[in-house]
Each structure stands twice: as C-alpha cells, then as structure tokens.
Amino acid sequence: MVVKMKIVEMSSKSIINKMKNGFFAMRYLPFRLTANVYRGCTHGCIYCYAACSHYYMRSSPALFSKEIYVKKNAAELFEKELTKHKEAKRKSVIIVGNISDSYQPIEMRYRLTRKLLEICYRQDFPCFIETKSPLILEDVDIIEKLAEKELIGVGMTVTSYDNELTKLVEPFVPRSKIVRSQILQRERILTLKKLSEIGVDTYLHITPYFPHVTDNYIDEIIGDAAEAGVHSVIMAPLEITGFIWSKLKRALAKSRRYSYLIPLYEKIYFVDGRKLGARITTSEMHHYMLEKKVSELCKKYGIGYWAFTNPQFNTAMISGVYKWRYPILLDYWKLARENGELTLREALQFASSFPVDREYLSVLKEYFLNGKLFEGVYGIKKEAKDGEVVYVPA
Ligand code: SF4
C-alpha cells in the first residue's frame, strides 16, 4: 500500500526538552532529557501514544503518520544546547527520539539522528535510542564508538511473532536488509543481536503487551532475546485511549483471525480495567500476573527484567549507559530492603549520587513524606520512628 506523505522542513527554536518531575516520572522514568529531530512517525503503529503530540504542530493525531516535520537545524541546536543546558551539564542520559522513531525511513535522507549521535560521541554525552527500525544498523560505526565509552543504550520493541498482527498494528515499520527472518518482528531481535555483539547495552521492550496474543509468543521472544545477548526486558500491557481504541477496533474488525479480541478487550479494558491518567490499562491483578510471568521467563532464560510496578519481580541490574540515569521507585524499594529501612536522609543522599536536579530532590522529599513514592507498592510500609517517616520492608 502506498501512503501519501507530506514532509515539512522547519527551523526549530530548541531541541532538548526537559521532562517534569511528575508522579509517573518520579516512579518509573530513568531519564528526563529528550531530543526529537522529527515530529510525526511513518511507522503508523495503531497503539501510538505519541500521536497526540501533533496537536503541538496545530495538526491532528490522525495525521501523525502522514505529516512529518523535520527539524533541519536539529544538529546545530543540539551541539549548542548540550553545552549550555543546565540539565545537560549534569550529563543525565538523553533519549534521542521518544515521540517519534529516530530511524524511520526519512532518516536515510536527512541523517539528523546520526548527527546527534556524532555530537554525543564528541561531547562524551550518554544517550539512549528506542526504535523498531532495523535502519539503526546503518549507523553501526558511530554506535560502536559510543558503546566503547559506555555512552549508548538501544531498546527495540517486539510485541508478537505473528505477522498478521504485526501488519495490523505496526503496518509500516521497514524491513531489514541486513538481518532477514520469516517472522517480521524477529528481525528486531536479530538487530539487537548485532548491536549486542559490538558491546552495546541492549533492551527488549515488550511494549505494548497485547493480552491474549503476546501470551502465545512471550516464551519464544524472551528466549530469543537472551540468546541474542540482550541485557534486559521491559514490559507494559497495552494502554488505550478513545482515539487508540477506535483505530484498533476498526483494524481488528477487518481481521478474520483477530476480530474475536474486540469483546475480550472491551471486557479487559472497559469493564475490569482502570484509569491511568488519560489512558485505560488492565486491572492491577492482570498487571501483577503479567509481571510475574515475564519475570519467571526472564529468570528461566537468564536475562534481566525491569519490573517497574511490582519491584519484587525485578531481576535487572543497572549497567552501561544507565549509570547516568535518574533513580526510580525500584531503586528506593531495593535500598529499603537491603538496609532494613529507608529514611528521608538516606533517600536524598542516594538520589544525590545520580545526575538529578534540585527540583527532583524537593519532589522526592514531598513524595517520601506524603507516601506517594511507594503508594500501592508491594512489600513496604510507611512507619513513624522517633517522629520521622521511615519505610520498612513488610
Ligand atoms: S514507532 Fe513509536 S512513535 Fe512511531 S508510530 Fe510507532 S509507537 Fe508511534
């Protein structure tokens, strides 16, 4: 199918964005800095959470995959901002492309992602790329150089090994010229293998996990990832909004094989599910069972698992580029268990050993005292000791 695409070249005012220390970031996000050289993404994933960012361009989420904005001055801005940005001076890891895939096909024409990686290398700046695209292998030379200095991590997404579902939900992700497989998404694991072989810290994102579909492939996917030398796995179940559900439902209805998912998902999300900000996700019990299952499979194959919501299932070790991250809930949970308790002073001292900003420390203090940091988290309880708040493993 040929999709009509509009490319809009633009001059941007800035390129580095600093995310706020909100509830979600404080608990789950190990980074704050992002840089997007493109707005819009031609991969056309039906579950895309970033499509709403097109409102910032006074455009519509419906045009997210058809109207691509190219920040032509991205490299000049990046070079300048990396030296001037207060946050950048602390060298906390930057995500190159979090609301668009940095290796969508248009990158082969503009090479903006590559230029940003070259700048990271010259300035010794840690970066992370999340992609579904095998085109990342076109930059293997600069990625290898960054990996030698432990300055890069690469995460790739695999949601299932079923080609029909892949074509339904991620219709325009390019195929690889270098690593071929009959199974479309296995090419991503083979891409990670190539990167792991040259020393890159690699991650497998099973995001989103499609209930009743990913279940059938999860064992094989994690086994393949372990064999490919992938460092660890990150998983999150599919989350939906009204916009995502209308597209997904339409796509599933057209599929003889997958239309049965419509009533199942209506129950899982609209009857049993729960709200997570503007999105709906599966119930706490469903999420718990998924984390448990993925964690057990990761143990079986000897690969790390980042359990964000239920830290007791975590098996991942912090390594490589993640040395330059922001601490997350998982860290404080581990600290409390290792020390037998966690005081505010210890939490702040621990956080200060990372490249965090002052605002982070004050939000941490607030969340620590009001209980939000560990709200709903297994195996830890808030207590008062000598008039002070402490967290004690339950
Ligand atoms: S690759 Fe990411 S940004 Fe691009 S369409 Fe898919 S989910 Fe959206």
Q: Best substitution site from 5, 42, 43 to test ligand 1's pocket, by max atoms within 8 Å of Cβ?
A: 43
Q: How far apart are CA 202 and CA 83, in angstroms?
A: 27
Question: Which atom of ligand 1 is the closest one to the Cα of 157?
Answer: 1
How far is ligand 1, taken at its centre, from the CA of residue 131, in Å? 8
Count of beta carbons in the 10 Å neighbourhood of residue 291? 22
- Please write the tens of the pLDDT for every residue from 6-28: 999 999 999 999 999 999 899 99
pLDDT at 2: 55
Q: Best substitution site from 38, 68, 101, 239 to test ligand 1's pocket, by max atoms within 8 Å of Cβ?
A: 101
Question: Is there a common fold for 6-326 and 327-394?
Answer: no
Q: Best substitution site from 34, 132, 168 to test ligand 1's pocket, by max atoms within 8 Å of Cβ?
A: 132
Structural domain boundaries in the chain: 6-326, 327-394
How far is ligand 1, taken at its centre, from the CA of residue 76, in Å? 25
Count of beta carbons in the 10 Å neighbourhood of residue 349? 10
How far is ligand 1, taken at its centre, from the CA of residue 41, in Å? 6
Question: Which atom of ligand 1 is the closest one to the Cα of 41?
Answer: 4
List the one residue out of 95, 305, 278, 324 whose CA is nearest residue 205: 305
- CATH class of the domain comprising 6-326: alpha beta
pLDDT at 282: 96
Question: Which atom of ligand 1 is the closest one to the Cα of 170?
Answer: 6
Q: How far apart are CA 186 and CA 250, in angstroms?
A: 26
Q: Which amino acid residue places its CA nearest to atom 8 of ligand 1?
A: 48
Q: How far apart are CA 348 and CA 383, in angstroms?
A: 18
Question: Which atom of ligand 1 is the closest one to the Cα of 100?
Answer: 3
pLDDT at 336: 96
Q: Best substitution site from 63, 66, 95, 100 to test ligand 1's pocket, by max atoms within 8 Å of Cβ?
A: 100
Tens of pLDDT along the chain (394 residues) come to 556 789 999 999 999 999 999 998 999 999 999 999 999 999 999 999 988 888 777 788 889 999 999 999 999 999 999 988 767 778 899 999 999 999 999 999 999 999 999 999 999 999 999 999 999 999 999 999 999 999 999 999 999 999 999 999 999 999 999 999 999 999 999 999 999 999 999 999 999 999 999 999 999 999 999 999 999 999 999 999 999 999 999 999 999 999 999 999 999 999 999 998 889 999 999 999 999 999 999 999 999 999 988 899 998 877 788 889 999 999 999 999 999 999 999 999 999 999 999 999 999 999 999 999 999 888 899 999 999 999 999 8
Check if the beta carbon of residue 392 is closer than 8 Å to that of residue 380. Answer: yes
pLDDT at 94: 95
CATH classification code of 327-394: 1.10.10
Q: Which amino acid residue places its CA nearest to atom 3 of ligand 1?
A: 100
How far is ligand 1, taken at its centre, from the CA of residue 283, in Å? 25
pLDDT at 261: 97
Q: Which amino acid residue places its CA nearest to atom 6 of ligand 1?
A: 45
